Amino acid sequence: MPIVVQKFGGTSVADANRIHLAARRAIRAKLDGRQVVLVVSAMGHTTDHLVDLAYQVSRKPSKREMDMLLSTGEQVSIALMAMAIHEGGYEAISLTGAQAGMLTDSAFSQARIKSIDTPRIRNLLEHGRVVIVAGFQGADSDFNITTLGRGGSDTTAVALAAALQAEMCEIYTDVDGIYTTDPRIAPEARKLDTISYDEMLEMASLGAGVMHGRSIELGKKYSVPIHVRSSFTDNPGTIIMANPPGMEDIAVRGATLKREVTRLTLSGLPNQPGVAAAIFQEVAGRGVMVDDIIQNIEADGSSVTLGFTVEGRDAGEMQTVGDLLAGRFGASRVNVNNDLARVSIIGVGMRSHRGVAARMFEALSAEKINIENISTSEIVISVLVRRAEAERALHAVHQAFELQRPA
C-alpha cells in the first residue's frame, strides 16, 4: 500500500477547527487507499511564546534546555491531532521525534538528521494506524532532545518520506503553491504547477519563503516529490520534482526579491597572496554569511579593493566588522552601503536560451533603475539595486519575462 507523508505547519493547526480540518485530510488519504504519516508543527505562535518565556526566566538559557522546552510545542499538536483522528473514527498514534526513530547529531538548536529507524512506524502503518510525528525535533545518541532549526518540520517530513519511500510528501501551508514571485508584492504573479528541485532551491535561497532549502535538498537527494498546497482549499498546488514537463522550454521560471542587503568594501588592501583567505576566515569566525565577493586590483598595482555582500545585518554591525578588518589587514578605507536589495531571476531554461541577461537589464534600464552589482550562476541572474527601487525592479523583470501569463 503506498505511503503518503503530510506535513501541517503552525498556521494549519493554529486552533481546534484547523486541527479537525487537517485530520479530515489525513482520513481522506487513508480512504483513498494510502498509509498516512503526518508531521505536525507547533500550533500558531507557540514556539515564539516559549522563546519569550525562556528569556523571562533566564538571560542566557542553554541551547540544550531550549531544545527541551521548544520541543513541547509539537508534542501538544501531535496529541491533539491524534485525538481529532480518533474523533473521526480512525486509529491514530502520536510519536515524538525520538519515538519515531529520528536520530540526530548533538548540535542543539541546529541539529542535523543522521538516520531514521523506521520499523516502528512501518509496523504501526501495517496495523492500520495513522502515525503522527512531531516535526522539528529528534534525539541524539545520548537521548538528548534536539531541534532541527529553521524549516525543521519541513525537513522532518521530507526525511521521513525518503526513509519510508513514500510516493509523495505533501506540505500543507497557508499559501496554495509556489508562485512566479511573491503575490503580496505582485498580485499578477502566477502559481506554478511544477518546478524543479534546482529552481526551487535557488528561489528559496533568494527570498521565496514557502519552503526552506534544507528540505528541498533532501527531496532532490532522495528523489522525493514534494507537493506544496493550501491547508484551506482542495486546489492542486505546486509539485517540486526532478524533471518537470517542458522545464527547458521557458527561460525564466520565477523572480525573487531580498530587501536587506549590505555591501562592505575595503579599499587599499595589500595585493598579496593569503590576504583574502585571512579576511574571510575572520568574517566566518564572526558568524557572518557572505554572498557576492568582488575583488579589483587598484591602479597602482600594489593594492586591491575587496567587497562582499551580506544579508540581514545592520549597518552598524557591518561598520564594526569593516573597521576591525581594516585595522588588522591594512585597508585605507572602509565603505558600508546598507541601502541595497537583491532582485533575481531563476530558470533551468537559461542554459538553452540566449539573451536572458540582456532582456533583464533592458527592463531595468527602461525603468531608469541603476544596477549596483551583477552576479550569475548557471540558472540565476541577480542584481543589486537601491532598496527604494527594489519592488519596481521586481515588477519590471517579472513583466519582461511574461511570468504572469500561462506557460
Instruction: Give the pLDDT confidence of 199-224 residue by residue, as tens digits.
Output: 999 998 887 778 888 999 999 999 99
d(Cα 140, Cα 83) in Å, to the nearest integer? 28
- What domains lie within the chain, and their CATH numbers? 3-174 (3.40.1160.10), 255-400 (3.30.2130.10)
pLDDT at residue 396, rounded to an integer: 96
pLDDT at residue 405, rounded to an integer: 66
- Which of the residue ranges 8-17, 244-253, 297-306, 388-397 would you say has the lowest mean pLDDT? 244-253
Record the pTM: 0.89
pLDDT at residue 94, rounded to an integer: 98
Each residue of 255-285: pLDDT tens digit? Answer: 999 998 999 999 999 999 999 999 999 999 8
pLDDT at residue 286, rounded to an integer: 84
As a whole number, the mean pLDDT across the chain is: 94
